[in-house]
Chain A
Amino acid sequence: MSGKGICIDGLKKRYGAGDTAVDALKHVDMRVGPGEVVGLIGPSGSGKSTLLKCLGAVIDPSAGRMVLGDEVIYDNGWKVRDLRALRRDKIGFVFQAPYLIPFLDVTDNVALLPMLAGVSNGESRAKALELLSALDVQHRARAMPSQLSGGEQQRVSIARGLVNRPPVILADEPTAPLDSERALAVIRILNEMARKFQTAIIVVTHDEKIIPTFKRIYHIRDGVTQEESGEGRGFG
């Protein structure tokens, strides 16, 4: 595994203290290389969301080590100072619901991230349009989110996650509201984008129809991950 992608060693997360302490993550090891899409699967309460929040630099782990791209972001109590900038520049998010900003059109929904990073409006919109073209929604560039279909909204959401070229994208149930055909199309797009932009993508899912598409899967149960890999999996 190269220094890119995501690398997690012995990650732990404990909520509370003393007798009421709950170990949401007991021991998590993960490796996702650049250009790779892996699935993260587990029952409710297994720690998926907690892991996603730790990876997304939204909550602090209790112990362990996390490396995003070539930057250590957490190491047994030490963490990077500017988590907001880390989320903006190093992590892309794709949600179960697209959560597009309803008062921005498609282009500005995608262009907002580079704008937040200080890129000029013109350059940000050019980047957005390039990605929208790659995701085949450029014809909806001036539309408002409410005017898009569910599949189009999710593609715009993926474009938003990719626009700052983060080394990692975290996708939280991205196919849940979609039918089989559209769900498989979204996974296909994620695979294409991972390859094209050399992004490591973790897809949290319950969706049985897309699980067979992953080359590698991490199962999480009671806060512990276990890797499963198999030949013949996925689009690759």
Chain B
Amino acid sequence: MISLAGRDILHAWGKFAFTGLGLGLLIGVTLTMAGVYRGMVDDGKALLDNSGADLWVVQKDTLGPYAESSSVNDDVYRTILAMPGIARAANVTYLTMQVRGHDNDVRSMVVGIAPGKAGTTPGWPPYLVAGRQITRGHYEAVADIATGFKLGDRIAIRRNHYTVVGLTRRMVSASGDPMVFIPLKDAQEAQFLKDNDAIWQSRRRTEASPALNRPGVPGLLDAVIASQSTNPFVNAVLVTLKPGYEAEEVAASIRRWKRLTVYTRAQMEAILIGKLIATSARQIGMFLAILAVVSAAIVAFIIYTLTMDKIREIAVLKLIGTRNRTIAAMIMQQALALGIIGFVVGKISATFAAPLFPKYVLLMPVDSVASFGAVLLICVLASVVAIRIALGVDPAEAIGG
């Protein structure tokens, strides 16, 4: 038996090709939306992976440092280091801001990393694609390649200028902003640095305060002013564990003795994905649902139209003895063919479009497989209306009268 659906498609290939192209672009948008969500999740995981930490020690009762602001004294890490099971502990700061380059500025997450070296000190970029790691205490930076900065570029963070000495890749914040790593002390200053006028006025106020500027207490004023212009806080302490220690046990110990909040990797991942990008995920989910409904409506309308165009032929087919299931199969096969054409076009368009997006779009094979299944299901459901109409055609219509 010949394939009636195949012959019809070959006969009207232009109509099918253009319809499939249109549907494919819609499916491409759907796949890209799923890729945007996957990219957000992957950004979050990359952030955690690249930090190299097993535990995140943050301000008590906060979800910091990524989901909420967190402030911890920068000497806490020393006492944490002394606790059982701790291999390394390092301060870290995070500050999202516009980093000015030579002729543009880039929204970036500025990460202050404690002195140490890559691979051992938590928080450092684990690998570079060009240049070297930071070796000086001040004014050097390692930037993610997505910032567009190049080796040797001079970038401005607040009032200070930094030289880009290294480039890394896939080091992004949970919202996809590329990271710029600078020495911790510089980052602490950048977080709290005021402009000169504000500093001057603050000093004037302190000098004018009789409580802080006592004639009989030499050095008090200088000490107070010094405390006002320095920043002893960091956003979190990143901790790695010694082999054989359970993360939850060590975390419980820190919580109990240091009165701080500690998150394990799993808890931090839950915060990032469950809270930080949950709204975005729901937003994307709504878009996906709408796109699925629109796709279904389009396929249903197209198959309905194609079937209505063939009503007379279907009447003739029924009159000459064609089985209902042969006619239903013809319509369903056409709907599935349209879905397959659309999926192929959509997959190709999404694959080529993904790198063009400013944020990371991750097209996962499992999403493609699920989408393919969904497209086929939608096509089958969409063809039901047309099949019902076709099966309801009276073969007498071919005879007329």
A residues with CB within 8 A of B = 48-50, 52-53, 56, 58-59, 84-85, 87-89, 93, 95-96, 99, 101-104, 108, 112-113, 115-117, 121, 144, 160, 172
- Complex Cα distance, B7 from A116, in Å, reads 16
- Complex Cα distance, B320 from A43, in Å, reads 27
Chain-A contact segment, one of B36-44, B96-104, B311-319, B346-354? B311-319
Indicate whether A87 sits within 8 Å of B321 (C-beta atoms), given known contacts A59-B396, A108-B2: yes
Instruction: Tell me the nearest residue of chain A to B324, going by C-beta.
Output: A84
Chain A residues, Cβ within 8 Å of B7: 103-104, 108
The answer to whether B316 touches A101, judged by C-beta atoms less than 8 angstroms apart, is yes
Chain B residues, Cβ within 8 Å of A116: 1, 320-323, 326
The answer to whether B321 touches A144, judged by C-beta atoms less than 8 angstroms apart, is no
The 5 A-B pairs with the shortest beta carbon distances in the complex, nearest first, are A49-B401, A88-B321, A103-B11, A103-B8, A58-B396
B289 within 8 A of A: no
The answer to whether B2 touches A160, judged by C-beta atoms less than 8 angstroms apart, is no
The answer to whether B323 touches A84, judged by C-beta atoms less than 8 angstroms apart, is yes
- Complex Cα distance, B11 from A44, in Å, reads 38
B400 within 8 A of A: yes
The answer to whether B399 touches A95, judged by C-beta atoms less than 8 angstroms apart, is yes
Return the CB mask of B1-28 against A: 1 if under 8 Å, else 0.
1101001101110000000000000000
Chain A residues, Cβ within 8 Å of B11: 102-103, 144
- B interface, size bucket: 20 to 34
Contact with B319, one of A58, A102, A144 (Cβ below 8 angstroms): A58
The answer to whether A103 touches B10, judged by C-beta atoms less than 8 angstroms apart, is yes
The answer to whether B1 touches A121, judged by C-beta atoms less than 8 angstroms apart, is yes
- Complex Cα distance, B11 from A70, in Å, reads 41
B340 within 8 A of A: no
Chain B residues, Cβ within 8 Å of A50: 401
The answer to whether A89 touches B10, judged by C-beta atoms less than 8 angstroms apart, is no
Chain A residues, Cβ within 8 Å of B260: none
> Which residues of chain B in 350-401 are interfacial with respect to chain A, using CB atoms and an 8 Å cutoff?
394-396, 398-401
Rounded to whole Å, the gap between the CB of B1 and the closest CB of chain A is 5
The answer to whether B321 touches A89, judged by C-beta atoms less than 8 angstroms apart, is yes
The answer to whether B400 touches A160, judged by C-beta atoms less than 8 angstroms apart, is no
The answer to whether B319 touches A56, judged by C-beta atoms less than 8 angstroms apart, is yes
A contact patch SS: helix
The answer to whether A99 touches B401, judged by C-beta atoms less than 8 angstroms apart, is no
The answer to whether B401 touches A88, judged by C-beta atoms less than 8 angstroms apart, is no
Rounded to whole Å, the gap between the CB of A210 and the closest CB of chain B is 18
Instruction: Tell me the nearest residue of chain B to A115, going by C-beta.
Output: B1
Chain B residues, Cβ within 8 Å of A56: 319, 396, 399
Rounded to whole Å, the gap between the CB of B324 and the closest CB of chain A is 8
Instruction: Tell me the nearest residue of chain B to A49, going by C-beta.
Output: B401
- Complex Cα distance, B401 from A172, in Å, reads 10
Chain B residues, Cβ within 8 Å of A121: 1-2
Rounded to whole Å, the gap between the CB of A148 and the closest CB of chain B is 15
Rounded to whole Å, the gap between the CB of A87 and the closest CB of chain B is 5
Indicate whether A104 sits within 8 Å of B2 (C-beta atoms), given known contacts A93-B319, A116-B326: yes
Chain A residues, Cβ within 8 Å of B395: 58, 87
Instruction: Tell me the nearest residue of chain A to B401, going by C-beta.
Output: A49
- Complex Cα distance, B4 from A116, in Å, reads 11
Indicate whether A115 sits within 8 Å of B401 (C-beta atoms), given known contacts A84-B323, A87-B319: no
Instruction: Tell me the nearest residue of chain A to B397, going by C-beta.
Output: A58
The answer to whether B12 touches A99, judged by C-beta atoms less than 8 angstroms apart, is no
Instruction: Tell me the nearest residue of chain B to A119, going by C-beta.
Output: B1
- Complex Cα distance, B399 from A227, in Å, reads 23
- Complex Cα distance, B306 from A102, in Å, reads 13
The answer to whether B313 touches A99, judged by C-beta atoms less than 8 angstroms apart, is yes
Contact with A93, one of B10, B12, B320 (Cβ below 8 angstroms): B320
The answer to whether A96 touches B400, judged by C-beta atoms less than 8 angstroms apart, is yes
Most buried by B among A99, A104, A121: A99
Return the CB mask of B193-226 against A: 1 if under 8 Å, else 0.
0000000000000000000000000000000000
Instruction: Tell me the nearest residue of chain A to B10, going by C-beta.
Output: A103
- Show 18 residue pairs from A and B whose CB-CB distance is below 8 angstroms, ordered by the A residue: A50-B401, A52-B401, A53-B396, A58-B394, A59-B396, A84-B318, A84-B322, A87-B395, A88-B321, A93-B319, A99-B398, A101-B313, A103-B4, A103-B10, A116-B322, A121-B1, A121-B2, A172-B399
Rounded to whole Å, the gap between the CB of B14 and the closest CB of chain A is 13
Indicate whether A101 sits within 8 Å of B317 (C-beta atoms), given known contacts A52-B399, A58-B399, A84-B323: yes
The answer to whether A49 touches B398, judged by C-beta atoms less than 8 angstroms apart, is no
- Complex Cα distance, B8 from A104, in Å, reads 8
- Complex Cα distance, B316 from A101, in Å, reads 8
Chain B residues, Cβ within 8 Å of A95: 316, 398-400
The answer to whether A112 touches B2, judged by C-beta atoms less than 8 angstroms apart, is yes
Instruction: Tell me the nearest residue of chain B to A55, going by C-beta.
Output: B399
- Complex Cα distance, B399 from A137, in Å, reads 24
Chain B residues, Cβ within 8 Å of A87: 319-321, 395
Rounded to whole Å, the gap between the CB of B312 and the closest CB of chain A is 6
Chain B residues, Cβ within 8 Å of A49: 399-401
- Complex Cα distance, B4 from A157, in Å, reads 18
- Complex Cα distance, B322 from A89, in Å, reads 11
- Complex Cα distance, B317 from A85, in Å, reads 12
